[in-house]
Copies of this chain bind each other. A is one copy, B any other.
Amino acid sequence: MPQLAMEIGAAARVLKLLGDPTRLTILAILNQRECCVCELLEVFSTSQPAISQHLRKLKDAGLIQEERRGQWVYYSLRPQSEYYSLLQAVLSYVPDQDENIRKIEKANPAVRCGC
């Protein structure tokens, strides 16, 4: 069902953000599970600053939110976003990220010591 119509320029701006494979994958992952940066790093073969910069763009657009917990910063989707349902609609066309999440959980980078 269509939502409230948004300005077309604003929609294009959001879609442009989604139109990058790294960002789209980040969003698809965050749609299944919040993650910190070092967890997302496990998924991509790119540098940490590159991921941080993508996250910043998504945050600036209000699509995601961050929450610091100790030394980690956890990112999650921001359901209050005006574009949340557009995002959900798009993500429903994207494959689930179980594989990538398995990769994250296997590496388990956010916990260094199991003592």
Contacts and interface: CB of A to CB of B under 8 A. Distances in A.
Interface of A: 1-3, 5-9, 11-21, 23-25, 28, 85-86, 89-90, 92-96
For this chain, the copies found in one complex come to: 2
B94 A6 contact: yes
Contacts of A15: 15-16, 18-19, 24, 90
A8 B95 contact: yes
A60 B12 CA distance: 20
A16 B5 contact: no
Contact of A24 (B11, B23, B96): B11
The 8 lowest CB-CB distance pairs between A and B, nearest first, are: A16-B19, A2-B92, A15-B19, A5-B95, A12-B21, A19-B19, A15-B18, A89-B89
Contact of A5 (B7, B8, B96): B96
Contacts of A7: 95
Contacts of A17: 19
A18 B9 CA distance: 11
A19 B21 contact: no
Nearest to A6: B93
